[in-house]
Amino acid sequence: MMASVDVIVVGAGVIGLSSALAAQARGLSVLVVDRIGPAGGASVGNSGAFAFSEILPLASPGILYKSPKWLLDPLGPLSIPPAYALKIAPWMYRFWRACSPARVAQSTVAQTALMDLSKAELAPLLELSGTADMLRRSGNLQVYEGKAEFTASLPGWQARAAHGIAFDHLTAAEMTALQPGLSPQFTHGTFTPEWYSISDPKQFTLALADRFRAKGGEVRLAEVTDLVPQEGGVAVRLNTGVALLAGKVVLAAGAFSHLLARGLGDKIPLETERGYNTTLPTGAFDLRMQVTFGGHGFVASPLATGVRIGGAVELGGLKLAPNYKRADAMLRKAQAFLPGLDPKGGVQWMGFRPSLPDSLPAIGCSRATPRVIHAFGHGHLGLTQSAGTARLVADLLVGARPRIDLSPFLPQRF
């Protein structure tokens, strides 16, 4: 059987579609296969941020300090449903090991390199996809309840300063001038001016799909059940009974990626951070930039389609029923933190963020064959790192030297 296309991308989220466009730009014929279609997963409900300043991994001593208190609150920033606790124990052990100072230092270097590449590649991707008008440059405001919480954040800001990331620490009065309507319980803040965002993540991802199709690409709705290396290519088996043959395959199926990788002999410890949000109608609050309530693990984001209140982490896998009480809890807190917020008319959502225990994605070739390239596990940072990941994937597809050292991201590191 001859290869039907040069590349099949498995996954029509922001990572998969960005990679498909980048591959097209290198002159390759590309087919995208997804079980739901463009923007059907985490790419539809994220906060819309290009958080290039977030160079510190989630796996860190700081999170170990906070997590016992958070875990006592089933509706708090970090939760593990009792029904899932035993299953996730091996992943949590790996996460704990990744929190050592030496491992955190290594992960920060790697994360910084990917962030720098992603920031540099963002403008070319927006130009390629015709989405430059969706970019916003309004920055991010991190707020703190009291001096102790602010002081505890300073080592992280010092690490960012060492990398040249711009920010300003603010008094309560300065915060109010920047973002009116904050509760007076927030006494300190930090503003990051180069924190970009997109007008709406769903519309952005759909626009990537539209541009991909306009350039001759096809998005096929089907579930991929197996990837089988063959001489001269990779067979992509679908639940319809059809088998497609591509010269190479990019596996970018988000939280479902490890299931296909396992069939290739790649045992990758991917878990699912179940994120929740409520999107309120436009006009619910005069939100001028994204505001991060770090002590409570959620953000308020201004989108073209409304005000999104969401975040937090529920490590609950793919099969447990959603617990929308978590979204309700965040919305109640947002009402207290943003007096005047109108909570009526909100739409709730839960999505799966694919997360690896060291907070770094898997980017690189399968152990079974260099014809399968993994590109998944970005956690909270899929949109942020989409342009950089697409550049790396395109380099690997054509045999070019990747722009950054890929050894920290290799799927085989586990």
Q: Look up the CATH number of domain 1-57+100-135+198-269+357-414.
A: 3.50.50.60
Asked if residues 77 and 296 have their Cβ atoms less than 8 Å apart, the reply is yes
| Model confidence pLDDT, tens digit, residues 2-40 | 558 999 999 999 999 999 999 999 999 999 999 999 998
Q: How confident is the model at residue 136 (pLDDT cuts 50, 70, 90)?
A: very high
Helices (H), 163-246: 172-178, 201-214
The pLDDT value recorded for residue 385 is 98
Decide which of 72 and 408 is more confident: 408
Looking at residues 135-145, what average pLDDT do you find? 97
Name the one residue in this structure whose structure tokens are 């579609």.
Answer: 17
Nearest-5° angle of CA 311, CA 315, CA 321? 90
**Chain segment 286-314, per-residue pLDDT in tens:** 999 999 999 999 999 999 999 999 998 89
Tell whether the model's pLDDT for residue 61 goes beyond 90: no
Please report, for residues 22, 24, 110, 324, 385, the alpha-carbon distance to residue 114 in angstroms, rounded to integers and kept in the order given. Answer: 16, 22, 6, 33, 7
Distance CA(45)–CA(35), nearest Å, equals: 17
Give the number of C-alpha atoms closer than 13 A to the C-alpha of residue 85, restricted to the C-beta side.
8
pTM of the model: 0.95
Confidence class of residue 78 from pLDDT cuts 50, 70 and 90? Answer: confident
